[in-house]
Amino acid sequence: MTIRVQQKDFDVGAELDALSAGNTNVGGVTSFTGLVRDIVGSSQSRGGAMTLEHYPGMTEKMLVEIDAEAQSRWPLEASLIIHRYGRLEPGDRIVLVAAASAHRAAAFEACEFLIDWLKTKAPFWKLEETADGEADWVEARDSDDRAAQRWNSNG
Amino acid sequence: MKILYFAWLRQRIGVGEEVIKAPEGVTDVRTLVEWLRQRGPKYTEALADIEAFRVAVNQEFGDMDTVLEGDEEIAFFPPMTGG
């Protein structure tokens, strides 16, 4: 498992290559890359940049726990979580999660699980800049809670 | 104890981190929140609605009933919006 919380960007191709490098047990790698959109909040207005704040220490601890949970549920050869913080522009990468396994089903499911749990359990907060120069804290979405909870009954 | 505030709680209270010595009556998160609210209007407003924020004690999720000994790191923050 690899977990990184960083300000700088990452190279998706290089990260995915590294995930399976030297391990010929890996039959499939799935990944999710989250990007900054330029649609803000419920008003659907065009927005600008956003700033991601997190809780250093607890963030890494929660990501390790989420990763360990994925490892216990699926036979993974490797897993990866990279999450950025700081100020990001529309189109910038925010997060990359990836799972490598012998077969695709485990890799697909684990990847979805990682991002679903991360969204509701890792202490990150988004501050969105709006077109009128204001900034609003993004509110948590019920749909994200439901996405995370569906893994409880499947567990 | 060390107290951390994140996102809009930090903005409304005006401080991200503070070290305090809580009085004897503070034995859990609930009594800590009640005591913090009395420290000024910014605290009263930011901590008014216990449904609006989450708490972590020593970097583990807690709730209003989590017991405090006095040397913990306690964090208050809104529901998470990462990913």
CATH number (domain holding residue A130): 3.90.1170.40
Return the closest-CA partner of residue B66 out of B20, B21, B33, B17. B33
- Verify whether the Cβ–Cβ distance A55 to B78 is below 8 Å: no
A12 touches chain B (CB under 8 A): no
A38 pLDDT tier (thresholds 50, 70, 90): confident
Nearest residue of chain B to residue A143 (CA atoms): B81
Please state the domain count of chain A.
1
Which one of A34, A95, A124 has the shortest CB-CB distance to B80?
Answer: A124
Say whether A58 and B56 touch across the interface (CB within 8 A). yes
Phi-psi region at B13: left, alpha or beta (left = phi > 0; alpha = psi -120 to 50) = alpha
pLDDT tens digits along B63-77: 999 999 999 999 999
Task: Write down the H helix ranges in B1-83.
Answer: 7-13, 29-37, 41-46
Structural domain including A55 reads 2-150
Q: Write out pLDDT tens, residues A121-150.
A: 999 999 998 877 889 999 998 999 999 999
| Among chain A residues, CA nearest to B9 | A137
Map out the domains of chain B with their CATH numbers.
2-77 (3.10.20.30)
